[in-house]
Amino acid sequence: MDFIASVRSRARARPRRIVFPESGDPRTIEAVAAIQSEGLLHPVLLGTPDHVRDALAGAGGDPDAVEVVDPLRMDGSGRHVETLLQLRRARGMTLSVARERVRDPLIRGALMVRFGEVDGSVAGAVNSTGDVLRAALWCVGPDDGIKVVSSAFYMVTPSFRALTMGGGGPDPAAPGEVLTFTDCAVVPEPTAPQLAQIAAAAARARRRVVGDSPTVAFLSYSTKGSAVGSSVDRIREALALFRDMEPGVPSDGELQADAALIEAVGRRKAPHSAVAGSANVLVFPDLDAGNIAYKLVERLAGARAVGPIIQGLRRPCNDLSRGASADDIVNVAAITSLMAP
């Protein structure tokens, strides 16, 4: 079973309530119709009930089987207003502003996540990443022990572990790979403590999303002292901090990408490393490296990039590309369901 099929199958086996704040977007409506057809999760849509149900019926969905919440109606939203006011009062928010903000579907959806009224949120087909993250940070906040909210792409690649120092290509009969690339979309120039927290969030998310055990490599242009520089020092510091945070997760650094991924190269460059050649979580030194790497792998190696997935939040609020297709939205919704506690 491939990664996406596995994600959908596992989401279907444990359906969660996921809120979609962007019900006015046709792709979101199409995605919800597909989710209903597959029985993946329980969608909750924010919008004007009659309009939402008419649109869902037009997309082939079941308008009578979906929950719709009108964010403009304030019935029962008193605790949402009061909580938002408490959270933002120190930043100057007033009661009247809090009441108005709660009418914003992004804020309302994030507050529903905070209170456990839903298990997660999916938005970003219409709204910017900044707006989606702002709502999540204001209303949900970071996970225990995590101060940095970051992102990951799950890169679904053909098998490549058969590559050797002498050349040769992937074994077409071997199962494919799912690699976590982090961070590729949020934190531009992470410090060593931030890199450690990004890695910790990625390891936690991978257990739920991929369903296997994380093996973490902190990437660099150097492998175990082959080069020197302030960036290398930062990677080494990040590794030490990560090991304190997650002592049970196999990790190593600094490693070059080939040493992290290919066993034969890892044995030669880092013979004493328990991670070299077997890493499945790649922690990039900065946003430039991570973003460039995922796009190159996607375009040149034919990998499928699933994401960005937001990690490090107490409860999942995931962002979409504004170019997302309905199928992309279904996949992110299923991943969000798996990330829910």
Q: What is the 3-state secondary structure (H, E, C) of 304-316?
A: EEEEEEEECECCC
Q: At 109, which helix (H) or strand (E)?
A: helix 105-114
Cα–Cα distance measured from residue 300 to residue 321, given in angstroms and rounded to the nearest whole number: 21
Which segments of the chain belong to CATH 3.40.50.10750? Answer: 150-305
Radius of gyration for the alpha carbons in the chain, expressed in angstroms and rounded? 21
For the record, the structure tokens of 195 come out as: 């890199």
Tokens 């919440």 locate to: 69
Tens digit of pLDDT at every position of the chain (341 positions):
589 999 999 999 999 999 999 999 999 999 999 999 999 999 999 999 999 999 999 999 999 999 999 998 877 778 999 999 999 999 999 999 999 999 999 999 999 999 999 999 999 999 998 999 999 999 999 998 899 999 999 999 988 875 544 445 555 555 679 999 999 989 999 999 999 999 999 999 999 999 999 999 999 999 998 999 999 999 999 999 999 999 999 999 899 999 999 999 999 999 999 999 999 999 999 999 999 999 999 999 889 899 889 999 999 999 998 888 999 999 999 999 999 98
* Burial (CB count <10 Å: 0-12, 13-18, 19+), residue 116: exposed
> Architecture of 3-141+315-339 per CATH?
3-Layer(aba) Sandwich (3.40)
pTM of the model: 0.89
CA distances to 233, 268, 329 from 68, rounded to whole Å, are: 52, 58, 18
- What fold is seen in the domain 150-305? Rossmann fold (3.40.50)
Residue ranges matching CATH 3.40.50.10950 in the chain = 3-141+315-339
